[in-house]
Amino acid sequence: MRVIRPFDPWKSPLCTCPEKYSFNPYTGCAHGCIYCYATYIPNFYRLREKKGLFRNLEKDLKDLPANALISMSNSSDPYPPAERYREITRRCIEILKEYDVRLMVVTKSDIVLRDLKILSEMRSAVSITITGLDELEPNAPSTERRIEALKAVKDSGIPAILRLDPVIPGINDRRFEIIEKTTPDHVVTSTLKLKADSMARMGKRLLWLKNVSFEEKGVYRYFPEKMRREVLYRIKNFCENIGISVGFCREGFEPPSRSCDGSHLLG
């Protein structure tokens, strides 16, 4: 069974990512984010291990082109609480290192700090998602812990990326202190995009969402473009004024100057 796949999770022309691959060490995610995009996968909030993972990972790595960029993970956090003792992601990183891939770690967890040494010995970048929306991310580490984690990544010399995503207009669109406190090498930002199931969950938390005139894009509901441009360009201007590059994720605005996901930091 393949465990590394070409990155195209949304089959959307709005995605401006460079060519890369997607690898999820776990199936499902225990962080339980209310807005999660991946809950179309059955029992998604229940974390599961993959049978034959290490063997299948090695098999897939042998088929990859030289210099491949792997994003880990896009639809299941690679550092769920169980990773502290299971060390599955850690073993995967050791294997990935042997194959000299470029690795983009994407997580909401400070458990990634445990693996900074090995990550510093390979071509890697660490992207930590910090939204300031703790109540919507019930099992993920707090905003403060994530801020400290991203600062530690930066201090380690590994390219540090802040993922400010999702941004909900009027709720967390002015959390500039997250950027100021972490001073990352790059910021990826994106507005909340809802599918039918996440809309049902979020609509119970934020009743006003039911009155928004969302734009339908495929299976997603997007905030109106004017609103998205306003909040995202405010964040972009803030970052660029302090010398930090910015990319938008799946917004359909002009392509980023460097990269949307921070992959330019990996060479």
Q: Which residue is associated with the tokens 């299948």?
A: 56
- Greatest CA separation found in the chain? 51
Q: 20 or 123: whose CB is closer to ligand SF4?
A: 20
Q: 26 or 222: whose CB is closer to ligand SF4?
A: 26
Q: 198 or 245: whose CB is closer to ligand SF4?
A: 198
Q: Do the beta carbons of residue 188 and residue 260 sit within 8 Å?
A: yes
Cβ at position 76, least distance to ligand SF4 in Å: 5
Cβ at position 196, least distance to ligand SF4 in Å: 16
Pairing of strands 48-49, 26-27: antiparallel
The residues with which 221 forms a beta bridge, in sequence order, are 194, 216
Cβ at position 38, least distance to ligand SF4 in Å: 5
Residues that bind ligand SF4 (CB under 6 A): 29, 31-33, 36, 38, 75-77, 108, 140
Q: 36 or 192: whose CB is closer to ligand SF4?
A: 36
DSSP letters of 42-104? Answer: TTTTS-EEPTTHHHHHHHHHHHSPTT-EEEE-SSS-S--TTHHHH-HHHHHHHHHHHTT-EEE
Which amino acid is present at 261? D
Cβ at position 231, least distance to ligand SF4 in Å: 19
